[in-house]
Amino acid sequence: MTGPPDDRYAELIAREASHWDHSAVDPANPQVWDDPVMRRAVIDGPYAHLLARATATGGPALELGCGDGDLSLELARRGLDVTGLDLSPARVARARDAARAAGVEARARFDVADLNTCELPRERFACVVAHDALHHILHLGPLLDRAAAALRPGGRLVVSDFRGAGALEKLATAAVVALLPTAQPYAAKWRLRGRLRALLASEREKRAALERGGAGLHDASPFEAITQESILPAIAARFDVVEAWTFFPFWYNAVPKLRAPLALKRAVLAAAQRIDRPLHRRGWTRGSYVFVEAARR
C-alpha cells in the first residue's frame, strides 16, 4: 500500500498537525507520564538511557518529531548541537521559545517539517534520535533511508517508541477502563465506543483504512500508531542493531485512569511492575514500547 491520494494525504496531515498544535494534558484521560511518580517508575529509566546514548555520540544530533523540544533542549544543555524537526508549527514555536529561555538557542535549532516527505542533509549528524515519534510516520522506510544517509560514518540511530500491543491485551485494557470507575463518567465512555476499532486495529488494518478513506482511524490524530510492529524490523533492515529491548506493558495504561486516590494508583502500578518484571525477563509478557540503538552501515 502506498497511502492515500495526494489530496487526501494533505487533509490528513493537516489534521495531524492541528492535533499536535493543541496537545495538552487531558484530565479526563490521564496517562502514566502525567504523574511524576508513575512516570519515574515506567518511563524515566528508558528515557535517561536514550539521552545517555545520544549524548555519547557527541553530536551534532537530529531529533525526529521534537515536539516542544524537551529532549533536544536537554541534549543542548549537555553540549550537543541539535536540530529538531516537527510537523506542528505551534510546537516548533514553543521549542524555539524554550531554547531562548534556557539560553541554548545557539545550540538548538527547530524547524517545521513533515517527516514523511522532507529532505535531510547528507552525512551531517553523529546521531539521529526519535522519542515517541516514529509510530506516527506513514512512510517509515523512506524516512529511515534518509536518516541513514544523514548520519556520518559511525553515526547512531537512537529510538524509543511505541511498538504496539496484541489485540487481546488492548481489548483487556479497554474492558478494564470501560467497566471500572475512571476519571470519565460511564456516559462519556459509552460515547467513545466508536474509538475501539481504531484502538484494536493493527498496523496493516490502519493502513488499509487509509486506502479506503480513513474509516476506523483516530478522529483527531489520523496517523496515531499508523506504524507499530514494523518499527524494529524496518530499523534492522537498514542499520546494524546494537541494542534492542522492550518495556511498558500496554495494560499499565489503565492504571492512571482509575477513579482512585493517587497514592493507591501508584501502589497498584508498583505491584503490577513487581509481577510483570520476572515474567517479562522470561519472555512471557511483552512491552508495548521498544528501545533501539543502531549503527549506520
Instruction: Render pLDDT for 57-83 as a digit per residue (tens, 0 to 9).
Output: 998 999 999 999 999 999 999 999 999
The whole-number pLDDT of residue 236 equals: 97
Give me the domains of the chain, ranges plus CATH numbers.
6-166+218-250+276-296 (3.40.50.150)
The model's pTM: 0.91
pLDDT at 206 over 70: yes
pLDDT of residue 128: 98
Residues 257, 28: Cα–Cα separation, whole Å: 8
Span 217-234, average pLDDT: 86
User: Does position 243 have pLDDT exceeding 90, yes or no?
Assistant: yes
Report CA-CA distances (Å) from 171 to 179, 200, 251, 256.
12, 7, 10, 17
The b-or-e profile of 110-131 (16+ CB within 10 A means b, else e) is beebbbbeeebeeeebbbbbbb
179-187 long-range contacts (CB < 8 A, ≥24 apart) are 180/258, 180/259, 181/258, 181/259, 181/260, 182/257, 182/258, 182/259, 183/27, 183/28, 183/29, 183/30, 183/257, 183/259, 184/28, 184/29, 184/257
Q: Which residues touch 70 (CB under 8 Å, ≥6 apart)?
A: 98
pLDDT > 70 in the chain, percent = 95
Mean pLDDT over the full length of the chain: 91
pLDDT of residue 11: 86
Residue 2 has pLDDT above 60, yes or no: no
Which residues lie closer than 8 Å to 143 by C-beta, 6 or more apart? Answer: 64, 115, 116, 134, 137
Give the three cell numbers for residue 223.
496517523
Report whether pLDDT(149) > 60. Answer: yes
How large is the average pLDDT for residues 225-245? Answer: 95
pLDDT at 265 over 90: yes
pLDDT digits (tens, 9 = 90+) for 119-139: 999 999 999 999 999 999 999
pLDDT of residue 1: 46
Rounded to the nearest 5°, which phi and psi values hold at 169?
Answer: -65, -45
